[in-house]
Amino acid sequence: MFKVIFFLFVSMYLVHAKHEEYEGYTLYAVTVQEPAQVEQLMEIVERYNLDIWSYVNLETEGLILVAPDLKQVFEDEISAIGITYRIDTDNIKEKLDLEDVLMAEAHKRSNASRSDRFGLSFDVIHRWAVVDRYLVDVANRYPSVARVVNGGRSVEGRDIRYLRLSSDNFASRTKPVIIIQCLLHAREWVTLPVALWAIQELVINVTDRDLIRDIDWIILPIANPDGYEYSHTRTRMWRKNRRTGQSPSSCIGVDLNRNFDFVWGTDSSNRPCSDTFHGPRPFSEPESVVTRNIINEHRSRISLFLDVHSFGSLILFSFGNRQLPPHALVLNRVGVLMAERIDAVKWPQNRNYRVGNSAQVLYTASGECADYAQVAIGNGLAYTYELPAHRNLNSINGFLVDPAFIRQAGFETWEGIKAAARYVVQNRL
């Protein structure tokens, strides 16, 4: 009896402890009138180690998450430099709890309606172990088109597997290769269905035969498995990998999307506590090495490289230091093509996609994955996607996922990817 009571107590404590660290955290929406204010704001963000959900510029308001003990000083400091704000979400913990409730309900419905069809459902966001198992199952079940490759191990020892999809096991020397990578940033859960949708369509449903006949595909659904799992089990807003042994030792993780070898370390943080810490050197992290190896192995044939993030409804091309690649006009044209296809089928309450150079549309940054890929693949097309932040009636927003949007996120993004895929085939890029 004592044991039972003790056990109940412990499990109740665990339930209640979830998201406790976010109690009283407030999400501020900020508006600037002039570029100088952006830089001043970024100094404040860096000084207090604040969590930027979405960058501010003259056209769009930014979203910044602030701890309860910093709210007063944050409000005072930004007011002093003339930045106006409104409170988007007073206590973000309530939204995190709500996401859990909605996801648990979706799990129940999904389990109840489970059919015998092979494939992962688009009702919920699946965990790493489920996805990892699925990649192996797909390869076993469809050996004529799918091969699973173990690209290496994460810091904590998880396998980083990806699928190679091809009608001739990559024997062709001329077919274009397309790479889709998701979850380089841990908390960007809504990107996972994009990878799973592509697998489902190319291997299982095969509604568009030309895509698997004319193109070789590499799909890496979870590029940062440790961070991803940590964002499920502990800290929902985790972004980096789980590198330890840094100084101070309480500061864990490297921002993998600042760790690639393109003007590395020039426009990112050298403080391990920062969310944009670039690591001790380029490719210091096993997770970025896996992606680098994929790019280098296939660089001569890669026509399209997609690094999928959230959020913002953006399609971005190189470079993060404001320079443009020689074929920037082509990058812009195909970016717009993808955006138009998605906008044609998107949910009306979501904003239209915007397309542009990443530094101009968002912010300057160094060591980014898509920039490294763009240099490696020359005339090929590399993009960073920022998927929509769908806001539902419960105002689940930003990095939080409304389960009702999962299927749509997979579907609509694939419409854009298909358009670019056919473009590179027709134009022999």
Beta strand spans in 126-256 (E): 146-153, 159-165, 177-182, 216-220
SS3 state at 92? helix
Task: Return the sign of the alpha-carbon dihedral for residues 151, 154, 156, 159.
Answer: negative
Q: Does 226 sit near ligand NAG (CB under 6 A)?
A: no
Provide the β-strand partners of residue 162.
Answer: 149
Q: Does 327 sit near ligand NAG (CB under 6 A)?
A: no
Q: Does 111 sit near ligand NAG (CB under 6 A)?
A: yes
CB-nearer residue toward ligand NAG: 25 or 142? 142
CB-nearer residue toward ligand NAG: 192 or 429? 192
The entry of ligand NAG, Zn ion, none near residue 185 (CB within 5 to 8 angstroms by kind) is: Zn ion
Binding test (CB under 5 A) with Zn ion, winner from 19, 95, 242, 309? 309
Query: CA-CA distance, 279 to 272, in Å (whole number)?
Result: 7
The entry of ligand NAG, Zn ion, none near residue 371 (CB within 5 to 8 angstroms by kind) is: none
DSSP 404: G
Smallest gap from Cβ 258 to ligand NAG, in A, equals 33
Catalytic residue among 105, 386, 412, 415: 386
Binding test (CB under 5 A) with Zn ion, winner from 19, 164, 175, 185? 185
Q: Does 233 sit near ligand NAG (CB under 6 A)?
A: no
Does 386 qualify as catalytic in the annotation? yes
Place of tokens 């299982």: 204
Smallest gap from Cβ 203 to Zn ion, in A, equals 26
Cα–Cα–Cα angle for 310, 200, 288, rounded to 5 degrees: 45
* Near ligand NAG in 185-224, by CB under 6 A: 197, 200-201, 205
Q: Which two tokens stand for residue 236?
A: 């929902």
Q: Does 278 sit near Zn ion (CB under 5 A)?
A: no
Quick one: 143 exposed, middle or buried, by C-beta within 10 A (0-12, 13-18, 19+)?
Answer: exposed
CB-nearer residue toward Zn ion: 146 or 409? 409
Instruction: Give the count of beta carbons closer than 10 Å to the beta carbon of residue 330.
Output: 16
Instruction: Give the count of beta carbons closer than 10 Å to the beta carbon of residue 394.
Output: 14
Report the interface residues with ligand NAG, using CB under 6 A. 107-108, 111, 197, 200-201, 205
Report the interface residues with Zn ion, using CB under 5 A. 185, 309
Q: Which residues are catalytic?
A: 386
